[in-house]
Structure 1
Amino acid sequence: MSDDRIGQRAAELLPEEQAAGSADPRAQAEAILEESDEREHDPNAAPDSFLERRHSEQTVDPGETTR
């Protein structure tokens, strides 16, 4: 993980992340990015979340309706 990526994420903490407060925003950003990278590489890493990946041919046409 690059220092630039960590620095950018630390500078752009979400409002709820800022509200939680941190004595070290860079360390907070690094932890957020590590968890994000882990979830990206292993969708089952976050058991309470669901990541759905579809290809364009698996989507519904805008004119179709589902029931």
Structure 2
Amino acid sequence: MAESEQHADRADTRAAHPTGAEQVAGSDDPQRQAELILEDSDVRSEDREAAPSSFVEHRTSDEATAPLEDPTA
């Protein structure tokens, strides 16, 4: 399958299955909306710094906060 066909299939699937919020809001052009959402998603997947005004903190398990003690124990 050609890359353009894969993109079209992804957009078709995305347009056919909007999120709950998207269903409530509605869309004049669900196909175009799906294409733009997937394009944005692809950019963010390639460059984790691409999301505007977002901060993603990456930690290893050693750097994560220890779990709270179980108060029922």
CA contact (8 A) 1:9 1:29 kept: yes
Taking structure 2 as the reference length, the TM-score comes to: 0.66
* TM-score with structure 1 setting the length: 0.70
RMSD: 2.4
Residue segments in structure 2 that go unaligned for 5+ positions in a row: 69-73
In structure 2, the partner of 1:28 is 33
Unaligned 5+ residue runs, structure 1?
A: none
Report which of the two structures shows the higher radius of gyration computed on alpha carbons.
Answer: 2
Which structure features the higher share of helix residues? 1
Amino acid at match of 1:7: D
CA distance in 1, matches of 2:52, 2:13: 28
Q: Percent identity?
A: 48
